[in-house]
Chain A
Amino acid sequence: MDTKLPNPVRPAFEKADREDAVIVNIGPSHPATHGTVQVIAELDGEKVVRADVHCGYLHRGFEKECESHTWHNLIPYVDRLNYCSPLINDFAYCEAVEKLLEIEITPRCRYLRTLLAEYSRVADHLTCVAASLMEMGAMTAFLYLVTIRDFIYEHTAALTGARVTHSYGRIGGLARDLPEGWLGRLEEILDQYEVFVGRIHGLMDRNRIFIDRTRDVAVLSSAEAIHWGYTGPILRSTGLPRDLRKDVPYLAYGELDFEVPVGIKGDNYDRYYVRMREMDESVYMIRQLMDMLAPGPINVDDHRCVLPEKHLVYSEIESLINHFKLIMDGPKVPAGEVYSAHEAANGELGFYIVSTGEGTPYKVHVRSPSFVHMGGLHRLFEGYQLADVIPTFGSVNMIGGECDR
């Protein structure tokens, strides 16, 4: 190479402390670090003595974009935060703005949002488990899980129009109602899901190689987990049953019957198993919600944020002007600030929104679980082997869009 390329990061340690230690660079273009995290590890033989985790390679300036777009225009940006479960991000953001507007969504919208949030959670956990199993060499498990995930993608594409980044939530409701036959296909997919996940349990749960690679690796205690800010399945795998859906119920979670699975030791195996059980609980919740869906309007009847019906826009002048103002200037959200958190697939996803009464936000900050988890990740690497870095990283489910925003 004739040009010297600059190094975008400054490592925490340049030279190893000891004579015979080696410093190795993993990433950031690495299949197992989900392409955007760099780990600089100091090794003593095969054991990792110190690790320095560098994220930020996918920092796309989400918060700066927020300050120059209307509240509605941000929904596609918010989707691409945790792109494995985009509907959860949509609904968390919409709920934060709805809190500022002080509107309450309709019952049908509440149940539908809960159903779709759980559906997205299943897709996210499928992706996480599939990727981490593939990185350990279990290609068959990856293909089974991605097949089910593909059914989910096609199914949500029938509802929202897009396979991955749906942009389906709207402030005050949802983009559109369920099409014909959607719930029937949902039943079929859930039955197929059970067949496929049964196969994964058969392949993985008592697999000698899998247990050897993941049991007692990257053990985390509950106190340490809270000290380092872990929430979500990782905190639950340490034995602490903290789940925002039970502790501080939002949407329709207060009316549902579900368990919060917890692990025993907080190692990689427990994180895998907690995610598998959470998927089962999500499917159980979806089945309950399918019966609870009652007919009714999807969007709340509030002209400040909900676009009027198309036939009114074309016939009445007030609706036309309302539509025009909402699209060009954005809904005028009253001044104030709010912090609203949902239990995303990775943990507590919080939106801190500051508004000054305009149609564009003054500030939107995302409290992303993946970013906080990266802060404590070096503790999970230290003391274990270099080859354990891969399953540990996979079990933490770092999503680049969410971590770096």
Chain B
Amino acid sequence: MASKAIPFGPAATFEYISTKKDELVGWARKFSLFPYPFVTACCAMEFMAVSSTPYDTDRFGAALPRFSPRQSDLLMVVGTVTHKQAPILKKVYEQMCEPKWVMAFGACATSGGFYQNYAALQGIDKIIPVDIYIPGCPPRPETVIDGIMKLQDRIARSKHPILTKNF
């Protein structure tokens, strides 16, 4: 068995500390999501249901909505976004500060749903980048919670540069 070189030295120490820092910051960020509910249509009913009993999102730390994009980090696009609403969505997305995540809640936000016509934007990923797509028309609250948990996994696994571009 060839022995693998055990990495040590300043570069390896930097990597180790950086990974641990990412884990810590990731844990903190994933359990303190501040959603901005960009609510438009029928999915709002399930959004209201998932925020209250018995499918509470508060247990995931993702319940406290901030109705200002400057104060929020999770943009939940709930419902159909039409071409008339698209500039508003883009403006709200651009007003949010990093780090930010986008959740496409429902079939209409994911791909336009069954409104394949002149008025509906066929998926919000045509204008803003999306992190998690939650299917359903409207999605059951359990699906939404599954989506939030997957997003939390993604946040936990990603890099979080906080002091400089690399650290």
* Contact, chains A and B (beta carbon distance below 8 A): yes
- Given A5-B90, A35-B79, A143-B52, check contact A164 B138 (CB 8 Å): yes
Contacting pair B120 A60 (CB below 8 A): yes
- Given A61-B119, A401-B42, check contact A29 B92 (CB 8 Å): yes
**A329 adjacent to chain B (CB < 8 Å):** no
**A284 adjacent to chain B (CB < 8 Å):** no
Q: How many residues of B contact A (CB 8 A)?
A: 38
- Rounded to whole angstroms, the CA-CA distance of A31 and B39 in the bound complex is 7
- Rounded to whole angstroms, the CA-CA distance of A345 and B41 in the bound complex is 17
- Rounded to whole angstroms, the CA-CA distance of A89 and B6 in the bound complex is 69
Contacting pair A65 B115 (CB below 8 A): yes
Interface string of A84-128 (1 = CB under 8 A from B): 100000000000000000000000000000000000000000010
**B3 adjacent to chain A (CB < 8 Å):** no
18-70 of chain A: CB within 8 A of chain B: 28-31, 34-36, 56-61, 64-65
- Rounded to whole angstroms, the CA-CA distance of A387 and B120 in the bound complex is 32
- Rounded to whole angstroms, the CA-CA distance of A369 and B147 in the bound complex is 35
Nearest chain A residue, comparing its CB with the CB of B53? A147
Q: Which residues of B contact A80 (CB under 8 A)?
A: 41-42
Contacting pair B49 A146 (CB below 8 A): yes
Instruction: Choose one: A6, A84, A142, A400; the contact of B52 (CB below 8 Å).
Output: A142
Q: Least Cβ distance of B23 to chain A in Å? A: 34
Interface string of A345-362 (1 = CB under 8 A from B): 000000000000000000
Contacting pair A35 B44 (CB below 8 A): yes
- Rounded to whole angstroms, the CA-CA distance of A163 and B65 in the bound complex is 24
**B114 adjacent to chain A (CB < 8 Å):** yes
Contacting pair A164 B87 (CB below 8 A): no
**A153 adjacent to chain B (CB < 8 Å):** yes
Q: Which residues of A contact B42 (CB under 8 A)?
A: 80, 83, 164-165, 401
Contacting pair A64 B118 (CB below 8 A): yes
Contacting pair A34 B45 (CB below 8 A): no
**A207 adjacent to chain B (CB < 8 Å):** no
Q: Which residues of B contact A315 (CB under 8 A)?
A: none
Contacting pair B40 A57 (CB below 8 A): yes
Contacting pair B90 A65 (CB below 8 A): no
- Given A83-B42, A146-B48, check contact A31 B67 (CB 8 Å): yes
**B137 adjacent to chain A (CB < 8 Å):** yes
Q: Least Cβ distance of A38 to chain B in Å? A: 9
Q: Which residues of A contact B119 (CB under 8 A)?
A: 59-61, 64
**B57 adjacent to chain A (CB < 8 Å):** no
Which residues on B are within 8 Å of A, measured CB to CB?
A: 37-42, 44-46, 48-49, 52-54, 65, 67, 78-80, 82, 84-85, 87-92, 94, 114-115, 117-120, 137-138, 140
Nearest 6 A/B pairs, CB to CB: A83-B42, A61-B117, A61-B119, A35-B39, A5-B87, A146-B52
The contact sample of 15 A-B pairs, CB cut-off 8 A, is A5-B91, A6-B87, A30-B67, A35-B79, A36-B40, A57-B40, A58-B80, A59-B82, A64-B119, A65-B114, A77-B114, A146-B53, A149-B49, A150-B52, A164-B138
10 A-B pairs besides A8-B85, A36-B85, A130-B48 with CB distance below 8 A are A7-B87, A8-B87, A34-B44, A35-B78, A60-B119, A61-B118, A61-B119, A64-B119, A164-B138, A401-B42
